[in-house]
Amino acid sequence: MIIVGITGGIGSGKSTLSDFLMFLNYQVFNSDSVAKAAYLSPNIKEEIVKLLGHESYEGKLPNKKYISQQIFSNTLYREKINSIIHPFVENEFAVFIKNCNKKILFKESALLFETGIYKQVNKIITVTAPLQLRHKWLEKRSSLTFNEINKIIDTQWSDEDKIKLSNYTVINNNIKSIIQQTQSVLHDLEQ
């Protein structure tokens, strides 16, 4: 089995690439979605409330805006949250692998490099997009402000650093471009 990591900065198009792979019937583990689900676990909620206070939840649901503000303005909080969430995600990935019946599977993670997960995959695809486009897409699809987007980008590895350790780079400037480049990557992986 070949495990292929998919990464890229916030708003680069990782999910678009992953959606296309799932459309083609490949199995894709979305670390970011699993991490969001982790916040609903009672044990994790308890740890996060201990760390960030009761403001971090609105009833049973995480207060995403508050948590985001805390972790992207405080390195210690970010590291602690990662140490709480990532074991949950890795456990779910182990289950995913166990149930996988394909020769190639994909693991999408915005923090593939930042968390060291890149050392656990066989190949890496980095998705990049011009910064201006990333801002435009993120401002449309989320409630993040320009400054909040920049704070998140500043906590992630640069595209240049990711590309140095990647086997493939997919440049996202439109959906057609992603499809063509992904087909080329798949052709190479299937060899």
pLDDT at 31: 93
Q: What's the pLDDT score for residue 125?
A: 97
Give the containing element (helix H, strand E) for 27. Answer: strand 27-30
Residue 36 DSSP SS3: helix
- Tell me, what's the pLDDT at 163? 95
Long-range contacts of 182-187 (CB under 8 A, 24+ apart): 182/17, 182/20, 182/21, 185/125, 186/24
pLDDT in tens, 125-167: 999 998 888 888 888 877 778 888 888 888 888 999 999 999 9
CA atoms of 120 and 138, how far apart (whole Å):
29
pLDDT tens for 60-71 read 899 998 998 899
- Average pLDDT for consecutive 10-residue bins of the chain (191 residues)? 94 91 95 93 95 94 92 91 93 94 93 89 95 85 81 87 95 82 92 82
Could you give the number of structural domains in the chain? 1
**25: exposed, middle or buried (C-beta count within 10 Å: 0-12, 13-18, 19+)?**
exposed
Task: Identify the domain containing residue 7 by its residue range.
Answer: 2-190
CATH number of the structural domain spanning residue 14: 3.40.50.300
Whole-structure pTM value: 0.88
Residue 4 CA to its chain's centroid (Å): 13
